[in-house]
């Protein structure tokens, strides 16, 4: 959530930044925020003045009663009653104004970092670098959904039977490969200095608002209405919310957590070949890394996170590329995002497997996540970052497709000890 002080002091810069996102109502919404903030300040001043006058009159009434001047005291009591009603009116209007202001601030997306390229969509994203050699597959190479059926390792029909489309059942070596990848990703995160956490996969509304998933992604989240809880779309939500309303001691910074969870996304309206098989699911597994640090260190932290994700892909021997997302393709809460995509040999296209983002103070302002710099009596907002390290479905799709041979699917060496086998089929 953008800070009102930033909107007031740097209005032109904020509007220019939101224009890079192609946010259509930026000028009207920013002006509405400023108007509501001005009204809030006027109401607060009126409330405080009425309260102060009422307190002074109460003191005077006490003195008059002690000296027997009851008639004069009664006159002041009438004025005190008027002030109390005025104070209540101010309080009610102030609460309503603050609620309107908060809801409008929730609507405003984050300001893009200066390095974010111009653009409206995926075609305008900047390719930062590529790694690896795309595999040369046989002319009869199969996409992963055919390989899955051939080797009977994932069953979409069974998942559809017990739940619905987009909820696959992993079987035998398919299930073992899932577990192997999760353990590999967690072990690598721990070796890189991340503290592993296991968190709930249901969160309350405050947690959804804390990371910016509400109200922005309300339609994409599964909602358990009886208990007003949400199934998480990513472990970023519960892990980051571990620190909601905290003032972090500087000696604890940076905080670096990693956690595995299943993730749930409704993905309403998605269909077609580009979402076939494992390309898009309603439930999938993912290991997430979360970083919380001082503002001056956050962009160096983002580089470290991206390097960690690249290292995982290199160990999996998957060709990949790193993209810097343009303003029009970037997530609502992000200031700068790098997407990592792997090459899908049989589909002959790039598949997104990770996003690493710096949110600067946007989430921290919602979370009231702060620290007190050394030598300062005032607290400041921290910066939050997160990245997928990694999401499993498209990793599995690329592993199956890129490593298919006439003797079966040969898995990369780094997974052999985790899986307990080296090939699928053959």
Active site residues: 265, 280, 352, 355, 394
What is the separation, in whole angstroms, between the first and last Cα of the chain?
A: 53
User: Is 353 annotated to bind ligand?
Assistant: yes
Residue 144: C-alpha distances to residues 50, 349, 409 (Å): 71, 13, 11
Which residues neighbour 280 within 8 Å (Cβ) at sequence distance 6 or greater? 166, 267, 270, 274, 393
In whole angstroms, what separates CA 101 from the centre of its chain?
Answer: 22
Residue 147 structure tokens: 């390989």
297-305: long-range contacts at Cβ-Cβ below 8 A with a sequence spacing of 24 or more? 297/254, 297/383, 298/358, 298/360, 298/383, 298/385, 299/113, 299/336, 299/358, 301/254, 301/358, 301/383, 301/385, 302/336, 302/338, 302/356, 302/357, 302/358, 302/385, 305/356, 305/385, 305/387, 305/389
Contact at 8 Å (CB) between 351 and 341? yes
Query: 381 has which bridge partners?
Result: 370
What does the chain come to in residues?
426
User: Is 366 annotated to bind ligand?
Assistant: no
User: Is 288 annotated to bind ligand?
Assistant: yes
Residue 191: C-alpha distances to residues 187, 196, 204, 235, 302 (Å): 6, 11, 32, 20, 18
Contact at 8 Å (CB) between 319 and 381? no
Strands 195-196 and 255-264, by their bridges, are: parallel
User: Is 355 annotated to bind ligand?
Assistant: yes
User: Is 352 annotated to bind ligand?
Assistant: yes
Residue 215 structure tokens: 């109200």
Which residues neighbour 185 within 8 Å (Cβ) at sequence distance 6 or greater? 260, 287, 312, 389, 390
User: Is 267 annotated to bind ligand?
Assistant: yes
Report the C-alpha gap between 237 and 243 in whole angstroms. Answer: 11
Summarize the annotated binding site for ATP as residue ranges. Answer: 265-267, 352-355
Please enumerate, by residue number, every residue annotated as part of a binding site for L-serine: 234, 265, 288, 386
């Amino acid at each position: 959530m953008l800070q009102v002080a930033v909107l007031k002091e740097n209005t032109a810069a904020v509007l220019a930044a939101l224009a890079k996102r192609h946010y259509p109502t930026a000028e009207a919404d920013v002006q509405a925020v400023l108007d509501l903030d001005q009204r809030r300040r006027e109401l607060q001043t009126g409330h405080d003045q009425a309260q102060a006058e009422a307190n002074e009159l109460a003191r005077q009434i006490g003195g008059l009663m002690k000296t027997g001047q009851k008639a004069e005291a009664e006159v002041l009591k009438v004025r005190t009653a008027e002030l109390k009603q005025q104070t209540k009116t101010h309080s009610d209007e102030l609460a309503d104004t603050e609620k309107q202001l908060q809801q409008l601030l929730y609507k405003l997306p984050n300001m893009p970092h200066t390095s974010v390229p111009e653009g409206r969509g995926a075609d305008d994203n900047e390719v930062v670098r590529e790694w690896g050699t795309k595999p040369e597959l046989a002319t009869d190479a199969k996409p992963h959904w055919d390989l899955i059926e051939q080797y009977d390792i994932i069953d979409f029909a069974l998942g559809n039977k017990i739940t619905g489309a987009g909820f696959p059942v992993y079987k035998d070596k398919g299930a073992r490969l899932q577990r192997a990848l999760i353990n590999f990703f967690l072990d690598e995160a721990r070796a890189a200095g991340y503290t592993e956490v296991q968190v709930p996969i249901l969160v309350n509304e405050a947690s959804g608002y804390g990371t910016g998933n509400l109200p922005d992604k309300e339609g994409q989240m599964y909602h358990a209405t009886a208990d007003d809880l949400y199934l998480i779309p990513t472990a970023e939500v519960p892990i980051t919310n571990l620190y909601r309303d905290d003032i972090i001691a500087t000696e604890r910074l940076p905080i670096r957590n990693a956690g595995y969870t299943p993730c749930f996304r409704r993905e309403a309206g998605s269909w077609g070949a580009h979402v076939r098989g494992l390309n898009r699911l309603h439930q999938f597994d993912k290991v997430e890394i979360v970083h919380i640090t001082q503002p001056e260190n956050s962009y160096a932290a983002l580089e470290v996170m991206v390097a960690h994700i690249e290292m995982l892909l290199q160990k999996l021997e998957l060709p990949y590329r790193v993209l810097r997302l343009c303003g029009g393709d970037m997530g609502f809460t992000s200031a700068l995002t790098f997407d990592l995509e792997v090459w899908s040999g049989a589909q002959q296209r790039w598949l997104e497997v990770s996003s690493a983002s710096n949110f600067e103070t946007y989430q921290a302002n919602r979370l009231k996540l702060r620290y007190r710099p050394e030598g300062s009596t005032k607290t400041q907002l921290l910066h939050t970052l997160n990245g997928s390290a990694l999401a499993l479905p498209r990793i599995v799709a690329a592993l199956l497709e890129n490593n298919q041979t006439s003797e079966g699917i040969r898995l990369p060496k780094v997974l052999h000890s985790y899986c307990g086998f080296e090939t699928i089929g053959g």
